[in-house]
Amino acid sequence: MGCVTLMICQTCRKIGGESAEDDAPDAPRPGARLLAQIAAHDLPEGVQLRAVDCLSACSRGCTIALSGGPERWSYVYGDLDPDLHGTAILEGVARYAASADGLVPWRERPEIFRKHSIARLPPQS
Amino acid sequence: MGCVTLMICQTCRKIGGESAEDDAPDAPRPGARLLAQIAAHDLPEGVQLRAVDCLSACSRGCTIALSGGPERWSYVYGDLDPDLHGTAILEGVARYAASADGLVPWRERPEIFRKHSIARLPPQS
């Protein structure tokens, strides 16, 4: 199974799908906070973290995406909150990385992965 | 540049983001109509057409996705109407296929690609 990448959008200004409280132009973006929070944990085996530019789902920030080589489905999730969702994201990423095709059984997905899905893309192979 | 795939969701029940008029359980899904309409045209060079299962953007049907190997960004578009958008989709796909990285200048994208974007994913390479 190929390496899994957890991508965190650094462009989003929203948190949980709502305008951030502190939306001063020079305030750290919510995605930067989420990235720092995730990076402070041990990542699941075979998972790399990547800061990315806009995932074009701006109304649904914070947004993240998961991909894992040509054999796995890719996923985009949104309406995330860096203060609430870091642990659940790591749990969902670990399950995704443990699958061959990225398809984690519904009940094994953390609630935010069940309820905050924006889209998914089939494997490219 | 790798081969480009235009994926059309065969699961969506909505058209233009709204419930389809004829939503009898056995009615052809909107994505089947869109697929048939696109398939009736000559596809741009290097583009293949693929019917896919649910892209997990059900409230935004019809939905399509574009991918093009590990060097290109992938895109998901929604709120499409098989009766209105076939030609514009083909135009947008041709421009995407002509790009090395999938990033078509904003003004060269058809209006539906500018206004109906659901999400995009960075290249995997």
SS3 of A7-55: the string is EEECCCCEECCEECCCCCCCCCCHHHHHHHHHHCCCCCCCEEEEEECCC
A120 contacts on B by Cβ (under 8 Å) = 54-56
pLDDT at B1 over 90: no
Instruction: Return the percent helix, strand and coil in chain A, to nearest 5.
Output: 25, 25, 50
Q: pLDDT tens digit string along A8-62?
A: 999 988 888 888 766 677 788 999 999 999 999 999 999 999 999 999 999 999 9
Global pTM value = 0.94
In this structure, what CATH number is given to the domain that contains residue A17? 3.40.30.10
Domain that holds residue A31: 4-121
Q: State the ipTM, two decimals.
A: 0.92
Are B7 and A122 in contact (CB < 8 Å)? Answer: yes
Whole-number Å distance between alpha carbons of B54 and B64: 10
Closest CA in chain A for residue B55: A120
Nearest-neighbour CA in chain A from B40: distance (Å): 24
Count of structural domains within chain A: 1
